[in-house]
Amino acid sequence: MESRVRKAEKLVERSMKGNDASHDASHVWRVRDLALSLAREEGLASNPDSMEIVELAALLHDIGDYKYLRDPSEEKIVENFLEDEGLEESKKMRILNIIKKMGFKDEIAGLANAEFSPEFGVVQDADRLDAIGAIGIARCFTFGGSRNRVLHDPAIKPRSDVSKEQYMKKEEQTTVNHFHEKLLKLKDLMKTEAGRRRAEKRHKFMEEFLMEFYEEWDGKA
């Protein structure tokens, strides 16, 4: 009989097929691998239920993402999948709770869990690690290009205090401003020790990239 994880992988492949490369199946595989690795570092490996929650939440976290929603019914895909798989209610709710509250937009709106579970921490940290560092830079410019966004405009300053509504409406923002409005903030929002350790190096790489970017933009490098 086909495993739940394999069925979830197939759902990811089907549901995310039309997305650009910043939020495609490869992003999900990286987040899954990172989440399981962080979970092991955080001592969750001895609990099979915890590891299943982490893996399924990581695999399903971007299905029905508001940025790619083509049909309102897509918001229910994950819930329906878990229902069809016959997951016990408590496990299902823990997975859905991670997926629904792990986004940056929810954290800036104050909706994220103040008391987060270890499973929540490793999945959210894994997703955020994939948003920073070399991969994060590549994803940021891929997404900006897919939305025909201006690369950089010194006249458009990053917004210092962004509400959830403003964050979701990015039309007037440049790709480079996204580093200041979100990506450079992620290191300090990591929930786990393992996530914080890995974020340090990725954060430093982004800072060095931006320094070089601005020097080249101004013709100084």
Predicted confidence (pLDDT) per residue in 27-61, tens digit: 999 999 999 999 999 999 999 999 999 999 999 99
pLDDT at 221: 81
- 118, pLDDT greater than 90: yes
Three-state secondary structure call for residue 188:
helix
Q: What pLDDT band is residue 103 in, cutting at 50, 70 and 90? A: confident
Q: Are 95 and 53 in contact (CB under 8 A)?
A: yes
Percent of the chain with pLDDT over 90: 78
CATH 1.10.3210.50 for domain 4-217: yes
pTM for the whole structure? 0.92
Query: Helices marked H in the chain — which ranges?
Result: 4-15, 25-41, 48-60, 77-84, 89-101, 104-108, 118-129, 133-146, 164-168, 175-181, 193-217
* Cα distance between residue 87 and residue 80, in whole Å: 11
- 167, pLDDT greater than 90: no
pLDDT at 176: 97
Length of the chain: 221
- 116, pLDDT greater than 90: no
For residues 165-175, give the mean pLDDT: 71
- 161, pLDDT greater than 70: yes
How confident is the model over 76-86, as pLDDT tens digits? 899 999 999 99
